[in-house]
């Protein structure tokens, strides 16, 4: 991921001024997240605008808002949006989640690739710290903001470390958000899952456990991984 740009099938992401570059986690949640056919979608911590643009590509009837608290990332995300076919349907704002939650605006779906390295040492770069650590957005703040901003019939999709999944799910339950579907992510069939893709909603229901997503098989991308991301990656 050393290149200053990453080319997808329908848009290009420049990410040299963003702390966190295009990576597997963002692509996975962007491709897997539950989206409505119409309505408003929020991408929390949009960074380069990757997930916002993926959402706009996947669902032509939606309007997408991406928010971030890092000015350089917001500027670059706006440039990426302006250079894409989806510029009329994607807006990027320099805004804290808590500020947005204090307004009357509401969303039909919310997507987030959150900072989650709660127990690791902070890297020296300030922007990277903001992007990767819960100093900038704790799980509690993310869940509280989402619970406020999500419409009654909306959905909230995210990606989490397996080690944090149970605690995050408990925080969601406290705020009236319940697990709807999830899928574990493994590097290979022999490795333990290290990520969980999860969708939450306001209705208490029996959740759906999807087949584990194995990224690599026999030295190459697995068929499931290729199928999930095939509309985006240039293979």
- The mean pLDDT value for 8-18 works out to 96
Domain boundaries, the chain: 5-229
Tell me, which fold does domain 5-229 have in CATH?
A: Rossmann fold (3.40.50)
- State the Cα–Cα distance between residues 33 and 36, nearest whole angstrom: 10
Give the tokens for residue 26. Answer: 């963002």
Least confident of 32-36, 135-139, 197-201: 135-139
- pLDDT tier, 145 (very low <50, low <70, confident <90, very high otherwise): very high
Give the pLDDT of residue 118. 42
The string of pLDDT tens digits covering residues 179-213 is: 999 999 999 999 999 999 999 999 998 999 999 99
- State the Cα–Cα distance between residues 137 and 132, nearest whole angstrom: 9
Give the pLDDT of residue 28. 98
**Beta-carbon neighbour count of residue 133 at 10 Å?**
19
**Beta-carbon neighbour count of residue 215 at 10 Å?**
20
Q: In the predicted model, what is the mean pLDDT of the chain?
A: 91
pTM comes to 0.91
Give the tokens for residue 219. Answer: 């030295």
Q: Is pLDDT at 51 greater than 50 in this prediction? A: yes
Give the pLDDT of residue 42. 98
Contact criterion met (CB below 8 Å) for 21 and 96? no
């Amino acid at each position: 991921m050393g290149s200053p740009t990453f080319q997808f099938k329908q848009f290009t992401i420049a990410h040299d001024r963003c702390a966190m570059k295009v990576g597997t986690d963002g692509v996975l949640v962007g491709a897997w997240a539950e989206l409505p056919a119409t309505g408003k979608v929020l991408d929390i911590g949009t960074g380069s605008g990757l997930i916002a643009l993926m959402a706009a590509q996947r669902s032509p009837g939606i309007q997408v808002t991406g928010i971030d608290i890092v000015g350089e990332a917001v500027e670059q995300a706006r440039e990426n949006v302006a250079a894409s076919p989806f510029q009329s349907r994607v807006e990027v704002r320099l805004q804290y989640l808590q500020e947005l939650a204090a307004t009357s605006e509401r969303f039909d779906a919310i997507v987030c690739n959150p900072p989650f390295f709660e127990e690791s040492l902070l890297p020296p770069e300030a922007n990277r710290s903001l992007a990767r650590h819960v100093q900038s957005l704790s799980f509690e703040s993310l869940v509280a903001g989402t619970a406020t901003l999500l419409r009654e019939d909306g959905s909230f999709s995210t990606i989490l470390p397996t080690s944090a999944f149970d605690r995050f799910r408990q925080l969601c339950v406290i705020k009236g958000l319940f697990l709807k579907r999830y899928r574990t992510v493994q590097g290979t069939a022999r490795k333990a899952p290290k990520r969980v893709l999860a969708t939450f909603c306001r209705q208490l229901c029996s959740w759906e456990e999807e087949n584990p997503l194995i990224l690599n098989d026999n030295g190459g991308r697995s068929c499931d991984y290729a199928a999930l991301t095939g509309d985006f990656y240039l293979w």
